[in-house]
Amino acid sequence: MRKIVSTGGGRLEFIPPMEPKLVAKPPEGEHWIHEIKLDGYRTQIVINNPDDIRAFTKSGADWTNKYTGLVEAARELEVKNAIFEGEAVVTNKAGLPDFDALQRAVHSDPYAMILGAFDIMHLDGHDLRDIGCKARREILFGIIRPNSRIQFSEAIPGDPKAIFYLADQAGLEGIVSKRADSPYPSGPTSNWLKTKSFTVQEYELLGVEREPGKAAFALLAKPGTGNMSVRPSSAWGAT
């Protein structure tokens, strides 16, 4: 385990996240950890004390008021201060992430989300970003409480191709593979790799919006539903 560096007494703030590289197939070898890629919103929880807990999106937008249930769950953790992250999801009756339901809940139900927590960057005054991913995840597992809206994202053992196949067959978004010994630098990295399942769906094209000098956006709707979606032209026909 690498040395844990003290953060000092300053107030903890949002950390720009690591950004996994998209690949066609998952990596093989004993040095990789594989997790299910949940179809939700990547979320960072920053705890300074029980009265100062905030939730941020991947880009750093403060969504504390939209994630009331997650903030209350974070308040129950037995920590002095911490920064950890995961994927905020809403599940359907089958227990699978439902992205459409998540989009609705963000605007109407701040208690609908659960968090699949997968990494931790600070804990009780210590910076954990210089130690390996597997060690960080063991620390994170140790602070998660049972029966909470914050749940630990378990690693899936086995052959990575088989794991991806099963995720694809289950209708999940894919898997994320992480080098077990990798530290946590912000920004793009090849130490985290994501392999995604792509499901093609049929949409009705309602129209196209285009501004000079900008990419075109398609106005789409699922046939017979009237539910409109706005997508860049590069994503037409795929989800």
Within 13 Å and on the Cβ side, how many CA atoms surround 26?
Answer: 32
| Displacement of CA 66 from its chain's centroid (Å) | 16
Evaluate if residue 202 carries a pLDDT over 80: no
Nearest C-alpha neighbor of 228 from the set 212, 208, 199, 206: 206
User: What's the Rg (C-alpha) of the chain?
Assistant: 19
Q: How confident is the model at residue 133 (pLDDT cuts 50, 70, 90)?
A: very high
- pLDDT interval class at 211 (50, 70, 90): low
Q: What is residue 10's predicted lDDT score, i.e. its pLDDT?
A: 82
Domain covering 5-196: architecture: 2-Layer Sandwich (3.30)
Find the mean pLDDT for residues 212-225: 60
The pLDDT, as a whole number, for residue 219 is 60
**The pTM is what?**
0.80
Q: How confident is the model at residue 94 (pLDDT cuts 50, 70, 90)?
A: confident
Sign, CA dihedral 40-41-42-45, equals negative
- Residue 22: is it exposed, middle or buried by C-beta count within 10 angstroms (0-12/13-18/19+)? exposed
C-alpha distance from residue 126 to each of 42, 110, 168, 194 (Å): 23, 30, 38, 28
Residue 53's alpha-carbon distances to 64, 67, 111, in angstroms, are: 8, 11, 16
Q: Can you list the alpha helix ranges (DSSP code H) found in 64-111?
A: 68-75, 99-108
The pLDDT value recorded for residue 21 is: 97
Q: Strand 114-123 vs strand 150-152: parallel, antiparallel, or unpaired?
A: parallel
Digit-coded pLDDT (tens) for 139-194: 999 999 999 999 999 999 999 999 999 999 998 999 999 999 999 999 999 999 99
pLDDT for residue 27 is more than 70: yes
Cα(186)–Cα(219) distance, rounded to whole angstroms?
Answer: 34
Can you tell me the distance from the alpha carbon of 66 to that of 32, in angstroms, rounded to the nearest whole number?
34
Residue 8: burial class (beta carbons within 10 Å; 0-12, 13-18, 19+): exposed
Q: What is the pLDDT of residues 32-72, one digit of tens each?
A: 999 999 999 999 999 999 999 999 999 999 999 999 999 99
> Is pLDDT larger for residue 36 or for residue 5?
36
